[in-house]
């Protein structure tokens, strides 16, 4: 069914409730119908208004019901927008409404305004009403509206407890970070001569000569000496072969002159698996320690070996 056909049926269904006016007044007839006339709270219903007047008349329908509240309740509410159309000299308006209070509720619509050539008529809509049924049992039909609810009071959140917990977590994290940095801190460098003396003492503590391992004792003492020379003598590297080390150091005087023989003998023991007597290994260890002392005294005049050598020369003189 088209909208035009719907309005034609509406015009036929709405019966005028206003009689014809006297001849000296603007002839206007108006009718309205509430459908359905009995509803529940929140159930939508419709108000149909039909006004018949001469051609050329201007119609002004109200925007909607009066929205003032009664006892804190808005009885009638407009849903959507009004629908107005003209068919010749007939104007039709449709309102979709909702009721929010029980009992007979007047729709409280302002009057319709009709004007023509300076004349004005205001057909009243004060008689339009709807009956709203109660869903309560019969013995509780005397309903007392609930009082207005108080404003929502939000609980006060105690931030101090959570701030204290956050501060404790931050302190724990900082302490853990500081402990890790302290544990992984770079160790201060050890003086090459001090480190060599510590390694010599560690080898002696293993008592390799007493347990019948002179070859391992000999090789370990030579390795400590080579590490010391690489750290103390300029140009000597840990990766140098025996020939490269001797070419860089060029030992010719004093106890250092024994270094080429000791290194060659150590190579035979380590790489050719030559045997070494216990006495030979003990003497080689003492000579290697003496070489380390002599080199330290030569390259570092402020060292303890240099002071010992100076003191010994003074006694000899």
User: Angle 9-13-17 (CA atoms, 0-180°, nearest 5)?
Assistant: 140
* For range 25-30, the mean pLDDT: 77
Is residue 146 assigned to a domain? no
* For range 136-147, the mean pLDDT: 66
Is residue 155 assigned to a domain? no
Residues 6+ apart with CB under 8 A from 122: 111, 112, 113, 114
pLDDT band at residue 139 using 50, 70 and 90 as cut-offs: low
Total tally of structural domains belonging to the chain: 2
Is residue 145 assigned to a domain? no
Q: What's the CATH code of the domain at 12?
A: 2.60.40
The per-residue pLDDT for 168 is: 95
Do 37 and 130 touch, CB atoms closer than 8 A?
Answer: yes
The per-residue pLDDT for 13 is: 47
Q: Are residues 10 and 129 in the same domain?
A: yes
Is residue 166 assigned to a domain? no
The per-residue pLDDT for 24 is: 55
Q: Are residues 47 and 126 in the same domain?
A: yes
Q: Are residues 94 and 196 in the same domain?
A: no
Consecutive H or E run containing 253: none
Q: Are residues 274 and 196 in the same domain?
A: yes
In the chain, % of residues over pLDDT 90: 17
Q: Are residues 206 and 303 in the same domain?
A: yes
Spatial separation of the C-alpha atoms in residues 267 and 285, rounded to whole Å: 15
Q: Are residues 197 and 299 in the same domain?
A: yes
pLDDT above 60 for 141? no
The per-residue pLDDT for 19 is: 35
The per-residue pLDDT for 4 is: 45
Is residue 176 assigned to a domain? no
| Least trusted range by pLDDT, from 35-44, 138-147, 225-234 | 138-147
| Residue 73: domain span | 3-135
pLDDT band at residue 178 using 50, 70 and 90 as cut-offs: very high
Q: Are residues 131 and 7 in the same domain?
A: yes
Is residue 149 assigned to a domain? no
The per-residue pLDDT for 317 is: 63
Q: What is the mean pLDDT of the chain?
A: 82
Is residue 163 assigned to a domain? no
In the chain, % of residues over pLDDT 70: 88
Q: Are residues 120 and 8 in the same domain?
A: yes
pLDDT one-digit tens code per residue, 55-67:
778 888 888 787 7
Q: Is the dihedral of CA 18, 22, 25, 27 positive or negative?
A: positive
**What 3-state DSSP class applies to 245?**
helix
């Amino acid at each position: 069914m088209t909208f035009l056909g719907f309005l034609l049926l509406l015009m036929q269904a709405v019966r005028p409730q206003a009689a014809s006016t006297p001849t000296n007044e603007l002839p206007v007839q108006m009718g309205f119908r509430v459908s359905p006339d009995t509803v529940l709270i929140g159930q939508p219903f419709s108000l149909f208004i039909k006004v018949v007047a001469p051609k050329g008349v201007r119609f002004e329908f109200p925007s909607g019901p009066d929205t003032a509240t009664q006892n804190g309740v808005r009885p009638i509410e407009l849903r959507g927008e009004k629908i107005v159309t003209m068919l010749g000299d007939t104007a039709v308006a449709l309102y979709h409404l909702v009721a929010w209070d029980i009992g007979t509720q007047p729709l409280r619509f302002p009057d319709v305004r009709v004007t023509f050539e300076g004349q004005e008529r205001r057909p009243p809509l004060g008689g339009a009403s709807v009956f709203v049924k109660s869903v309560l049992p019969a013995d509780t039909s005397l309903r007392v509206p609930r009082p207005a609810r108080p404003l929502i009071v939000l609980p006060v959140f105690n931030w101090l407890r959570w701030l204290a917990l956050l501060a404790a977590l931050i302190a724990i994290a900082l302490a853990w970070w500081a402990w890790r940095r302290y544990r992984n801190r770079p160790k201060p460098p050890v003086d090459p001569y001090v480190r060599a003396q510590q390694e010599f003492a560690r080898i002696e503590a293993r008592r390799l000569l007493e347990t019948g391992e002179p070859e391992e004792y000999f090789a370990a003492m030579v390795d400590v000496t080579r590490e010391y020379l690489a750290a103390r003598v300029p140009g000597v590297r840990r990766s140098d072969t025996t020939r490269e080390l001797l070419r860089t150091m060029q030992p010719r005087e004093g106890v250092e002159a024994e270094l080429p023989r000791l290194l060659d003998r150590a190579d035979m023991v380590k790489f050719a698996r030559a045997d070494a007597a216990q006495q030979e290994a003990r003497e080689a260890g003492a000579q290697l320690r003496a070489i380390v002392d002599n080199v330290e005294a030569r390259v570092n005049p402020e060292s303890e070996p240099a002071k010992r050598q100076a003191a010994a020369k003074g006694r000899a003189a």
